[in-house]
Homo-oligomer: A and B are copies of this chain.
Amino acid sequence: MPRIAYLGPEGTFTEQAARQLLADTTEGHADLVPAESVAAALDAVRSGERDAACVPIENSVEGSVTSTMDALADGTPLVAVAETMLPVRFDILVRPGTTVEDVRTVTSHPHALAQVRRWLSVNLPDAAHAATTSTSAAAVAVRDGQADAAVCAPLAAERYGLSVLAGQVADVEDAVTRFLLVRRPGAVPPPSRADRTTVVVVTGDSVGSLARVLNEFALRGVNLTRIESRPIKGSFGEYRFFLDFAGHVNQAHVGEALAALRRHCQDVRFLGSFPRADEGGSSGSDEAFTAAAEWLAGIRSGGRA
């Protein structure tokens, strides 16, 4: 049975994402093990102690998870083989029997409190707010009577024996978090209807070096879905670029663009090609590339152009 690490503690959105990712694969059963940090989860895969890791990569409201990006860009290479997206909707959890009138204190991780601030100000305007180190720690605090209500991932209610005072709470209706399932390099998942590929590149710092990278994509019809510069060593000065784009490394137009990057960037790290979790994307077509390759082969073999 594969052993999958995820960013813990238990009962958070990341455990929920890990369960969803595993349900989507044929494996079905797996041993899910919480890790203390993203770096610890990835290092457990690198060392062979775990077979894969589920980690958050970006939130549509909060932005990128920089600890995940940096941990994937440094150290022994790992690759993402799947992604999933979860709506950021919280449950407000209380001890069974607690009513709205009983709630004097609300607790959660500051990020979670921030994401339901408006809802709290309308529905629990008089409750004091207290911070915890995770949404699950908030559930524990409510279970143990240290607070009256916790802002949690839906998974936490059953896990900690709490009742749902209000469900599906979110200030931003469509907020979503994207998670990756990451493994040691091996066979790339085959192309699907719509894939995403992710790389990190170091371009060198001459003027126009990033424009050259993007031109290689644009010239081949490859559509970017995310770009972000990140300082290399935790201080401003040297940068690397994280790029997500539509398509699969096995496609001709994507492969040719990646090979071009390899030729003129200081460093290119492939972080995986995998089916997209969002609707409406497409991987772009290799049709024109295949026809042109046949035409070229024809010329080279002495046929008519």
Contact = CB atoms under 8 A, between A and B. Distances in A.
A113 interface: yes
A110 B129 contact: no
B63 A230 contact: yes
Contacts of A227: 210, 227-229, 241
Contacts of A133: 110, 113, 129-131
Interface string A206-220: 011011101101110
Contacts of A173: 234-235
A221 interface: yes
A132 B131 CA distance: 5
A77 interface: no
A49 B221 CA distance: 49
Interface residues of A, number: 52
A31 interface: no
Interface of A: 60-64, 66, 85, 109-110, 113, 129-133, 137, 172-176, 178, 205, 207-208, 210-212, 214-215, 217-219, 221-224, 226-231, 233-237, 239, 241, 278, 280
Given A131-B137, A207-B222, A212-B218, 12 more contacts: A60-B234, A60-B235, A63-B64, A64-B64, A172-B235, A174-B235, A176-B236, A207-B217, A207-B218, A207-B221, A227-B227, A227-B241
A56 B223 CA distance: 31
A210 B221 contact: no
Contacts of A230: 63
Given A64-B63, A234-B174, A211 B221 contact: no
B60 A63 contact: no
A131 B130 CA distance: 8
A245 to B, nearest CB: 10
A246 to B, nearest CB: 9
B226 A217 contact: no
A184 B205 CA distance: 34
